[in-house]
Structures are given as C-alpha cells and as structure tokens.
C-alpha cells in the first residue's frame, strides 16, 4: 500500500538519499543500525550542564548515569532508561543524545542500562538485566540525589517494551510501590502471531506498514526469532499480562507509519480498560522513532511532548 508519509519525513529521506531500512540477519542489522546511528550522532556533543559517568553495576552489567551538574537540594526524579534496537541492536551510545536531552530538559537523573542483547543472549536474559539494573538504581537513590518516590522506567522501541516488561515484573513481585510510571516510546507489546482475540480486528499495522521506513515486518520477524520468546509469553509480550490492572501510570508514544503502531494503540486501550491512568501521543504520517533523525512532528517539539508525558507520570 502507499505510505502516507508526512512531508517533513520525506525531506529527511531526500537528504539521506534513500529510505532507511535494515536487511539481513540480526548481526548484519546490528552493523547497519550502528552505521546509521554514527551518522546521526556525528555532530552530537556532551552537554556542559550534565555530569555523565559510565559505571559497572556487576561484572556483566553496565550503565551510564546522567546527572544535572547543578545539584538541587531537593532530590530529583530518576528515569531508568532502556535503548531500542529490536533487542539485538543499539547500546548506550546510540541514544546518548536523547538521554542527555531528557535529563537536562526535565530535569532528572537518567540511568541508561546496557542490557545483554540477542541473538547471543535469548530471553529471559535481557529481562533479568533490566530488573537487576532497576534494582541497583532504586537501592542507590541517595547516592546520586535521586527521589525514591519519583522513579520511572523509560525506553524507545524495544526499550519501550523493556520499560513495560519491567513494570510487569515489579507488579508481579509485589514491588509496584517502587515505580511511579512508564514512558514507552513506540513500544513492542505483542507478537503478531498471538494477538488477544478482542484486539485482532484492531491490529492492522504489521501488514499495512510492512515496508515502512526504519522498521519493517521483516526486521521485526528477525528480531522475534533472535530474542527467542514465545509469542504467548505474558512476561515478555505484555499485552498478555494478567497484571495490567495493577500497572503504574503509563505514557505511550505511537508512530503512525510503523508495523508496530498498533502495539502501542492496543496497549493504550488495554490499560485504559484496566483503569490505569494513561497518556497517548500519536504522530500521524511519521515512521518508527522518527525523532532519532531530528524529524519534526506537527507540534514542532517532540522532546517537549516527552517531557510533558513524563510530568504526567510524576503527577499521578
């Protein structure tokens, strides 16, 4: 089908000289993803208003901490961040600029967790890392002037999935009090082979936008195969969770021209039906994580929208 992409996105493609998509197996995609990320981030600079530190949580788990350089006497909110990349690609470097922008703009402390990736590490390895990273961050709140009452999980694409999966684990473990909210930006929430029956008629995007920019049905199928989670696993594909009614407040970003558009829309519906406070931003005519290439939404300020979404979480 013809993709009704916005003019602002088409200008990005013109400047690139191509429509960015990823091909091959997961490891080939990792290299392509890294190359595009390096191109995007080539001119990025470290903010002078932040202290940025790489730390080791355990022998096998690392993180990057972004702390406003001007220390407020009042403890700051803390966002535990998970990068995107289909569970196979990306690292703390690829979304370094975005983490800086959120930490500086809110302001807050961001702890970006370097979780293990597929295909080398199948599920549940990355879920274990996500929980371990969160637990360390929460238990060390006083170390970096973090407010233990204002912790939130945040991530984009596969990282948005991990933020939701973390909330699900915390609820299941009786630790809901630790998490104020979830900011899930263009998240993966379901497997197209196992959509809950009540949402089947609403889930059209995987086929409708199979050849979209930045994310394709082929890429998603490769990522699903690589991570190795069962399509019916309620701990991984969170639309199947039995804990949705206990979820914290959730902010969801949906990209319109995206195979996983309906993941976000269906998740928003499910949480609403469960009585969870939610906020949704749906960007018409724009592809998966369009903001990574500095494409402007109609509002003109994607970061401002995200900061508003996080403030929604903090006020619930």
Q: Catalytic residue numbers? A: 157, 258, 288
Q: Which two tokens stand for residue 194?
A: 């196992």
For residue 187, which of 219, 165, 161 has the smallest C-alpha distance? 161
Measured distance CA(295)–CA(282) in Å, rounded: 15
Q: Which two tokens stand for residue 132?
A: 């371990």
Question: Could you give the strand order of the β-sheet that contains 278-287, starting from the edge strand earlier in sequence?
Answer: 50-58, 61-68, 109-114, 76-82, 146-156, 181-185, 249-257, 278-287
Q: Which two tokens stand for residue 168?
A: 């699900």
Q: Which two tokens stand for residue 270?
A: 């499910």
Whether the Cβ atoms of residue 198 and residue 273 lie closer than 8 Å to each other? no
3 state SS of 226? helix
């Amino acid at each position: 089908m013809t993709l009704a992409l916005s003019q602002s996105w088409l200008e990005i493609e013109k400047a690139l000289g191509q429509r960015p998509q990823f091909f091959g197996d997961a490891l080939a995609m990792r290299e392509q993803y890294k190359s595009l990320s390096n191109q995007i981030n080539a001119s990025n600079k470290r903010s002078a208003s932040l202290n940025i530190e790489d730390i080791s949580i355990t022998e096998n788990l690392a993180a990057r901490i972004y702390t406003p350089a001007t220390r407020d006497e009042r403890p700051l909110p803390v966002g535990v961040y998970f990068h995107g990349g289909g569970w196979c690609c990306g690292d703390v470097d690829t979304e370094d600029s975005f983490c800086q922008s959120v930490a500086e703009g809110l302001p807050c402390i961001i702890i970006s967790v370097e979780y293990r990736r597929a295909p080398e590490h199948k599920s549940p390895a990355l879920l274990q890392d996500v929980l371990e990273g969160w637990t360390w961050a929460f238990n060390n709140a006083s170390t970096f002037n973090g407010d233990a009452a204002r912790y939130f999980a945040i991530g984009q694409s596969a990282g948005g999935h991990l933020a939701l999966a973390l909330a699900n684990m915390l609820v299941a473990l009786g630790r809901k009090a630790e998490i104020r909210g979830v900011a899930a930006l263009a998240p993966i929430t379901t497997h197209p082979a196992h959509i809950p029956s009540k949402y089947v008629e609403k889930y059209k995007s995987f086929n409708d936008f199979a050849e979209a920019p930045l994310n394709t049905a082929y890429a998603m199928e490769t990522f699903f195969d690589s991570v190795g989670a069962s399509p019916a696993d309620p701990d991984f594909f969170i639309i199947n969770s039995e804990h949705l009614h206990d979820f914290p407040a959730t902010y969801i970003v949906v990209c319109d021209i995206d195979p996983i558009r309906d993941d976000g829309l269906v998740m928003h519906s499910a949480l609403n039906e469960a009585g969870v406070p939610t906020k949704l931003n749906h960007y018409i005519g724009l592809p998966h994580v369009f903001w990574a290439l500095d494409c402007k939404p109609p509002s003109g300020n994607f970061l401002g929208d995200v900061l508003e979404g996080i403030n929604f979480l903090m006020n619930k």
